[in-house]
């Protein structure tokens, strides 16, 4: 069975729900901590850190408090300061503080000059009263992601239930209150304590869910929000899971096509697809020895290692090397990809991103509570996504046993908010293009920017076209024209390639018809030829990364969502490119 890992989706935490739980901008103000200002202290370089106390239960402030960890990088040009720009990398479960330490160094110079860059770890995550219950995570990782026998299913159910029970015992009081609605309330409390009338925000993947929920609850507090890798909060559990896994199948096909075209090492002796099948079969028969790691590569490590590398083209070469070594009987590279993704430390310990991911997703959406439902789902998904489909269902088993009741999110409208910029990448495996397009249409002031290319999210990751449009919006509130497009990959299905419209300043975007979910049969429409809409320099692949390097990573429990790994790798590549050009990083 797939570990909660393969099930995690860096970007999904929402399904159909009737109410949006919208609040007035001042809602919750009475319960905001009374301190007039945060007590900042130096915490490395230009960074300042502080702790904010917020209610555990915003509906009952007297029920106790929790602590949120906050980091700030003051604007480098205080005389031209615009305000606070908050950022979140996604997950749920990814540390926004760890992310900000990397992101602030490669964000465009004008953004660093004119904004205080602020991030906080959401409740239950990282350093903010964390949920800690991952002692069985290694066992989850090692489970067969493609269970077929009754014995394999019983093992999956046993380990999943034990993991959920551990979390209930360790953090049962906190679990009901870690949903995104409360994260949005925390975010507004932080805004108030910072003394800001409005916020500027950049959210990636699940970070777009935080941004959309905040804008829906507090539309008057929005200055400029960028939601990169948008999530569609109208979809039900099964649609989310199968759509994402089809996305990963498409990403695998793109990798295989690139490998074949370039005659990579995996293709020199035949079909690269057949080579991957051989590696998977080898691990199913017996774990592949990994002399350079502390354990062999079993079926779980093999599949997770492959998925980990599909989030970004920057890791395709590393995937080729890992698979080639595995064919020769050495699974070290696949174990390293798995451990890098999970932030596994050299001593075998993990951060809390996985349990936090389960916790948030299990509150934000209603999942099936009958374990047998996942077995039936797995059989259906395997027909649509033969490599990863079964894992999309089986990794959700933890939710079947989760203790906290759901408080599902609704479809965000953000009525009355100024224009909100949504970015969707045409071949994003974790948050498919149609999700971002749908989010841009669900938000009453949503504006869509399309990036024609590969990978999960794109802003500040090498596309000059995207960066120019986003920077103009963040700095000057210049809204791109309808149909704005960057990148030189195929356009979205049903669209013709064309020039990128210039940014505009009008507040009312032009709307287009909502894109339907991916076809149930997993097919994809043929795409017209691409244009040359993006002239940005693509950074070179980063050097090999050691396992346990601490690079951020996240998952959503019903589908693979390696947002932070992809972004860490992309940002590492950008850092290398900048260093080679002599551009300062911080």
By annotation, the residues acting in catalysis are: 205, 428, 456
**What share of residues in the chain are helix, strand, coil (percent, to 5)?**
40, 10, 45
Structure tokens at 219: 């539309």
Beta carbons within 10 angstroms of residue 321's beta carbon: 17
Which segments of 146-302 are extended strands (E)?
199-204, 222-228
Secondary structure (DSSP) of 280-319: HHHHHHSPBP-TTSSS-B-HHHHHHHHHHHTT-GGGHHHH
DSSP SS3 for 472: helix
DSSP SS3 for 533: coil
Beta carbons within 10 angstroms of residue 495's beta carbon: 16
DSSP annotation of 490: P
Report the C-alpha gap between 85 and 200 in whole angstroms.
5
Report the C-alpha gap between 481 and 499 in whole angstroms.
12
- Which of 326, 318, 319 is CA-nearest to residue 296? 326
Do residues 385 and 245 make contact, with C-beta atoms less than 8 angstroms apart?
A: yes
Structure tokens at 416: 């009355």
Secondary structure (DSSP) of 360-405: HHHHHS-----HHHHHHHHHHHHHHSTTTHHHHHHTTHHHHT-SSP
Element spanning 18, H or E: none
Do residues 559 and 7 make contact, with C-beta atoms less than 8 angstroms apart?
A: yes
DSSP annotation of 556: B
DSSP SS3 for 48: strand
- Which of 542, 466, 489 is CA-nearest to residue 314? 542
Report the C-alpha gap between 582 and 243 in whole angstroms.
42
Distances (CA, A) of 306 to 58, 104, 576: 41, 29, 24
Report the C-alpha gap between 146 and 168 in whole angstroms.
27
Report the C-alpha gap between 52 and 151 in whole angstroms.
48
Do residues 200 and 115 make contact, with C-beta atoms less than 8 angstroms apart?
A: yes
Do residues 291 and 330 make contact, with C-beta atoms less than 8 angstroms apart?
A: yes
């Amino acid at each position: 069975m797939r570990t909660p890992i393969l099930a995690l989706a860096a970007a999904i935490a929402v399904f159909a729900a009737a109410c949006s739980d919208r609040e007035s901008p001042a809602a919750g103000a009475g319960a905001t901590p009374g301190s007039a200002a945060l007590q900042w202290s130096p915490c490395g370089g230009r960074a300042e850190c502080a702790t904010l106390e917020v209610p555990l239960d915003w509906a009952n402030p007297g029920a106790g408090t929790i602590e949120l960890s906050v980091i700030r990088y003051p604007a480098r040009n205080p005389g031209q300061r615009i305000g606070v720009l908050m950022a979140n990398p996604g997950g749920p479960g990814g540390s926004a503080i760890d992310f900000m330490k990397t992101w602030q160094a490669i964000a465009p110079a004008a953004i660093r000059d004119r904004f205080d860059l602020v991030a906080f770890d959401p409740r239950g995550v990282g350093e903010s009263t964390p949920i800690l219950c991952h002692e069985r995570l290694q066992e989850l990782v090692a489970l067969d992601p493609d269970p077929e026998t009754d014995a394999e299913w019983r093992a999956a159910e046993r380990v999943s239930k034990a993991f959920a029970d551990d979390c209930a015992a360790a953090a049962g009081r906190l679990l009901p209150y870690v949903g995104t609605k409360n994260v949005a309330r925390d975010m507004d409390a932080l805004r108030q304590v910072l003394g800001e009338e409005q916020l500027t925000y950049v959210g990636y993947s699940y970070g777009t869910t935080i941004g959309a929920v905040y804008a829906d609850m507090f539309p008057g507090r929005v200055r400029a929000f960028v939601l990169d890798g948008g999530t569609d909060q109208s979809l039900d559990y099964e649609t989310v899971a199968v759509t994402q896994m089809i996305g990963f199948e498409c990403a695998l096909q793109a990798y295989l096509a690139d490998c074949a075209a370039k005659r990579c090492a995996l293709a020199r002796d035949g079909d690269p697809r057949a080579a991957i099948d051989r590696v998977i079969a080898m691990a199913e028969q017996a774990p592949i020895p990994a002399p350079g790691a502390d354990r062999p590569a079993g079926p779980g490590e093999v599949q997770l290692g492959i998925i980990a590398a599909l989030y970004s083209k920057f890791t395709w070469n590393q995937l080729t090397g890992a698979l080639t070594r595995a064919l020769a009987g050495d699974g070290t590279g696949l174990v390293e990809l798995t451990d890098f993704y999970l932030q596994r430390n050299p001593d075998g310990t993990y951060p809390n991103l996985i349990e936090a991911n389960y916790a948030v997703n299990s509150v934000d959406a209603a999942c099936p509570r009958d374990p047998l439902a996942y077995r039936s789902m797995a059989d259906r998904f395997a027909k649509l996504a033969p490599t990863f489909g079964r894992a999309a269902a089986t990794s959700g088993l933890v939710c079947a046993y989760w203790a906290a009741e759901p408080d599902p999110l609704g479809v965000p409208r953000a009525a009355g908010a100024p224009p909100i910029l949504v970015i969707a990448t045409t071949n994003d495996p974790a948050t498919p293009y149609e999700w971002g397009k749908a989010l841009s249409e669900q938000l009453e002031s949503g504006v869509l920017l399309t990036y024609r290319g590969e990978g999960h999210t794109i802003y500040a990751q090498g596309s000059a076209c995207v960066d120019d449009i986003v920077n103009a919006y963040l700095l000057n509130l210049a809204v791109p024209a309808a149909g704005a497009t960057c990148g030189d990959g195929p356009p979205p299905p049903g669209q013709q390639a064309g020039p990128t419209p210039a940014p505009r300043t009008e507040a009312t975007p032009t709307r287009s018809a909502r894109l339907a979910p991916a076809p149930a049969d997993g097919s994809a429409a043929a795409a017209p030829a691409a244009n040359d809409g993006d002239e940005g320099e693509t950074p070179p692949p980063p050097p090999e990364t050691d396992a346990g390097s601490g690079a951020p990573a996240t998952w959503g429990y019903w589908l693979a969502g390696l947002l932070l790994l992809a972004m860490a790798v992309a940002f590492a590549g950008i850092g290398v490119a900048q260093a080679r050009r002599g551009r300062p990083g911080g």
